[in-house]
Chain A
Amino acid sequence: MIAMSWLTRLSTILRRDVVSQRISEEIEFHLNERVDELMEQGMPEEKARALATRQFGNPTLQKERTREMDLLGWVEALGQNLRYGFRMLARDPGFTTVAVLTLALGIGINTSIFSLISDRLLKPLPFKDVDRIVMVHETPLNNPREWNSAAVSNFVAWRDLNRVFEHIGTVNDATLSTAEETPERLVGLRIQYGYLEALGAKPILGRLISPADCKLGNGEVVVLSHKLWLRRYNGDPHVLGKIIPAGLRNFTIIGVLPADFQSFAFGSLAPEVEFWIPYEFTGTHMQSASRYVAVTGRLKPGVSLEQAQAEMTRIAANLAQANPKLNKGWGVTLVPITEAAIGDARTSLFTLQGAVGFVLLIACANVAGLLLARLSSRQHEIGMRTALGAGRGRLMFQFLTESVMLSVLSSPLALLIAYGGIRVLAPYGLEDNFKNLAIDGRVLAFTAFLSILAGLLFGLIPAMQGSNRNLTAMLKDSGRATTAGSSRQRFRSFLVIATIASALVLLTGTGLMVNTFIRLVRVAPGFDAKNLLTFQLLLPTGQYFKDAGAPNGQAMVRPSPQLPFVFEQLLERLSQLPGVQSAAISDTPPLSGWSHGTNFTLDTSPKPEPSTQLPSAFFHTVSADFFRTLDVPLLQGRPFDSRDSSTAPWVVIVNQSMAQKYWPDSNPIGRYLTFAMPGEEQPRQVIGISRDMRYGRLNDGLIYEMFVPHTQIPALTGHFHFYVRKTIILRTTVDPMILIPAARKIAGQVAGNRPITDIKMVEEYFDRQFQNPRFYLLLLGIFGATALMLAAVGIYGVMAYSVKMRTHEIGVRMALGAHQKDAMWMILRQGLTLTFIGVAAGIGGAFWLTRFIAGVLYGIQPTDPATFTIVALTMIGVALLACLVPGRRATNVDPAIALRHE
């Protein structure tokens, strides 16, 4: 029956004109009949018609009222509700201001975090038929979420055996420094044919990299990005065939890609890539057991992801059988490129969105509390409207209209807050990804959606309460607190508990981040990071490295004997600069986050059994004055010096932690270890033990570090080392920045006009180490403070209202001999009960939720008891303060007045 009635209404809408017509006709008939009757009684027609019409009332109005029965009437009712709502909000500007501000804060904070998500997760990748592109990962059979790159031999087998990919290729990074008068450093990629095709690249000039180009020895061709083409060649249409000289090799330009093409490498878009060269696989590549090439494929038309996955799983199983040493326990997982692009960001971003979701919930709870309090003052109005025939639905509709109006009114302010938030947060960017943040259409839509949702969320319960037309209760309630009022108060209590619990969860997150930050700041790098200047020098392989043939089927280069002298001269001249205390060479700048690691064996055997699990440690190639420059003492043994030339026996200095770990009971000096690295021909003798420091990055806990003389580095596998990058470190007695021009000049003179890059003070690298924790601290700090403030306001509101409602009761108690402190205690007890319940719920929630920020914590457990305790006490303290003001008001109740209070 109900369904039918709705159908009838629906059809009424569709036939609205028909209905309108019908009512007109009916009314006309009615009037005519009436006129007839009056004329029969002897009235002249004109007079009769006038009377009939007047008696009937306004026909247009009648039609309108009839139509209100239609669904379309709701639209008209909405208009009325809006007008009425505006009047109601304007009448109570205090309430409106507080509610709008609260909501704007909640929605604004959510919008700013959403703009992050929108930018990182929701923007489609700029590739044609992007849903056809997949990343092909090697994954352990027991954990398909652990995405690894592929071993070269496996990639080649996949390409040969599969029938599901239209194109499949692979990529690794490549940087080259041009061998020219003014050398230029270019960032690019080494690729196997199929990679660019898989991404849908179409050259605007020339061609892409072919299978033939990828054959060993054919790789001296290059495809240019549009940007590089414009910059280096002014968009010359005859650029094909020109040559980019790069030390040992010269690359012939074979193609140019369009401006809108971007590479995708290592899990994200790579707009900085300027060129692509062939990735030639040598024998070493093919035999390598390491998984280091990122494989990208485009599915053939008509092949589904599931089919492709099935085929690749089958191929992987065959490969595991054919080569168990490499592939036992390994499978293949296809991941759509869109998903691969999101990767780890998903967790951290959704954690943030979850955190700000709590802020919004608190804001909603507060406004809902305010609305409930306001209901009591609107009792009369509600009663009046009910008496005049407003139905329950209509009343609810009115209340919901008002609450959505509130949140929609707050949304411009929310956008302002979001915009400000983005501007403030941008410099603290997470992984430098904040630059393109903008409030676009999607963000606007989100804000609109959120504000309507929030309006419904906080408006629903008050609306249900308010439209509950229990006339008896309403009449009684207009006097003192009774049933309806106390049920409302119960609900407000629930809101306060929820607020406190949410605030506590956020505060716990903030507390953990504060702890992390304090611990991070306390971590000493182990050396004095002040007054250290570093820059990098790029040496092209052609000039300073000699072709060393291809002993194992792979081309090698070896540092020329002249190179150490160049370095020596460079360091000597740099250290003679006034204001420079000492100068040293390393491979990477201190605290830059970059460190090379290697496996090693604890003896002299150069070829360990491949199956054994080898220990590993970071290593740095450094010059003699390295330890003096960083001011790191050697605890035992000697530093490197001129004895440690390339022809002398190879040596190594290990750090304290490593010495204790591997030679716990004996003196490591004089012992040997051998790096498991290609080109390492001899074992290295330990000649010293250095005090522990954190050279690569701060938050690594206990780390093992080794240092070797830069003169004793192995031959390099040459085809993809177009340059050698060295870091120069200067310890200065003056402001390091003023030394830059002089250092640049010396480097130019000594090293043959090489560019120096990445000029930075070590303090800058040091500072960058705090970037992510600082960002989280800032965000969670803002969220936590907002939540605490809102929670305090919420508690205050409920308690103040409670005191007002209980004035009469308090008066009676005092008249019967209760003391002021009893009245105070009565209020405090009520407030504290709510607080304790909220805190208990919050601790439970935090216990479960803090695991999501475990990844950015340092030196502290997500369930750290001290943090939980402090946060709970803070919350209770703030709640107590919020109760004190209403409590004092209760003590000031004058029984004589209170008893007359109505």
Chain B
Amino acid sequence: MARQKNDILQGTLALLVLKALQSKGPMHGYGLTTHIHEQSYDLLRVEEGSLYPALHRMEQDGWVRSEWKVTEKGRRARFYVLTPSGQEQLVRERESWTRLTKGVARILREA
């Protein structure tokens, strides 16, 4: 499958993951990809290869915690939970995203 424009921009992935974990609670990686895909009305697709490195890094930065659990289908999966510092990070990422979109929108209007 060729890369399309709806692939998620680098840097915004963390924002989306944090937001998903905040609204839906503990989730595994696959759950995150489907959740983001559905919530964006199929507009956004998580580049699956970037997801796990990103999750790993977020865990090292202390924004998420993870543990092994068994899914409804009986498979072992790693579930991710938002930490308090992840909450704070979400606020920050959200603000910077808003600033960015506003700025870009303005430039586009002027052009």
Contact = CB atoms under 8 A, between A and B. Distances in A.
A9 interface: yes
B49 A12 contact: no
B60 A9 contact: yes
Contact of B75 (A32, A34, A57, A66): A32
27 contacts: A5-B60, A5-B62, A19-B56, A25-B78, A26-B52, A26-B78, A27-B52, A29-B28, A29-B78, A30-B29, A30-B30, A30-B33, A33-B30, A33-B75, A36-B73, A55-B1, A55-B48, A57-B49, A58-B49, A62-B53, A65-B50, A65-B53, A66-B53, A66-B56, A68-B53, A69-B57, A389-B10
Interface in B22-40: 28-30, 33-34
A37 B34 CA distance: 10
A522 interface: no
B85 interface: yes
Interface of B: 1, 10, 28-30, 33-34, 47-50, 52-53, 56-57, 59-62, 73, 75-78, 85
Contacts of B29: 26, 29-30
A29 B76 contact: yes
A22 interface: yes
Contact of B53 (A12, A30, A69): A69
A284 interface: no
Given A8-B62, A26-B28, 5 more contacts: A5-B62, A9-B60, A29-B29, A29-B77, A69-B60
A11 B31 CA distance: 28
Could you say which interface size class chain A belongs to? 20 to 34
A233 interface: no
Interface in A14-47: 19, 22-23, 25-27, 29-30, 32-34, 36-37
Given A1-B85, A33-B30, A12 B52 contact: no
Nearest to A30: B30
B60 A23 contact: no
A4 B1 CA distance: 40
Interface centre among A27, A30, A32, A69 (most CB of B within 10 A): A30
Contacts of A22: 78
A702 interface: no
Contacts, number: 66
Contacts of B57: 69
Nearest to A6: B60
Nearest to B78: A26
Given A55-B48, A61-B49, A12 B60 contact: yes
Contact of B48 (A23, A30, A65): A30
B24 to A, nearest CB: 16
Contacts of A32: 75
A30 B46 CA distance: 13
A69 B48 contact: no
Nearest to A29: B77
Interface string A615-629: 000000000000000
Contacts of A238: none
Nearest to B34: A37
A13 B86 CA distance: 23
Contacts of A34: 30
A253 to B, nearest CB: 77
Interface of A: 1, 4-5, 8-9, 12, 19, 22-23, 25-27, 29-30, 32-34, 36-37, 54-58, 61-62, 65-66, 68-69, 389
A1 B76 contact: no
A756 to B, nearest CB: 84
B49 A65 contact: yes
Nearest to A7: B60
Nearest to B32: A30
Contacts of A9: 60
A746 to B, nearest CB: 93
A26 B75 CA distance: 11
Contacts of B73: 36
A25 B49 contact: no
A5 B47 CA distance: 26
Nearest to A69: B57
Nearest to B60: A8
A56 B47 CA distance: 8
Contacts of B75: 29, 32-33
Per CB-CB distance, the 8 closest pairs between chain A and chain B, nearest first, are A57-B49, A33-B30, A66-B53, A65-B53, A30-B30, A56-B48, A29-B77, A69-B57
Q: Which of A4, A54, A61 has the most CB of B within 10 A?
A: A4
Given A4-B62, A5-B60, A9-B60, A25 B76 contact: yes
B1, B29, B48, B75, most chain A CB atoms within 10 A? B48
A23 B52 CA distance: 8
B75 to A, nearest CB: 6
A27 B59 CA distance: 17
A66 B30 CA distance: 17
Contacts of B48: 30, 55-57
Contacts of B33: 30
B100 to A, nearest CB: 13
B69 to A, nearest CB: 11
A1 B63 CA distance: 11
A57 B33 CA distance: 15
Contact of A5 (B10, B34, B61, B76): B61
A56 B59 CA distance: 21
A824 to B, nearest CB: 45
A54 B61 contact: no
Contact of B62 (A1, A54, A57, A61): A1
Contacts of A68: 53
Contacts of A1: 62, 85
A733 to B, nearest CB: 93
Given A5-B62, A61-B49, A54 B56 contact: no
B56 A69 contact: yes
Contacts of B28: 26, 29
Nearest to A11: B60
B90 to A, nearest CB: 16
Nearest to B1: A55
A31 to B, nearest CB: 9
A29 B60 contact: no
Contacts of B30: 29-30, 33-34
Most chain B CB within a 10 A radius of its CB, from A5, A34, A69: A69
A34 B77 CA distance: 13
Given A26-B78, A30-B30, A33-B30, A62 B52 contact: yes
A9 B76 CA distance: 25
Contacts of A389: 10
Contacts of A55: 1, 48
Contact of B1 (A5, A36, A54): A54
Nearest to A19: B56
A56 B45 CA distance: 12
Given A29-B28, A34-B30, A55-B1, A66 B52 contact: yes
A69 B57 CA distance: 6
Contacts of A29: 28-30, 75-78
Contacts of B56: 19, 23, 66, 69
Nearest to A388: B10
Contacts of B1: 54-55
A385 to B, nearest CB: 14
Most buried by A among B34, B52, B73, B78: B52
A23 B29 CA distance: 11
Nearest to A61: B49
Contacts of A30: 29-30, 33, 48, 52
A330 to B, nearest CB: 68
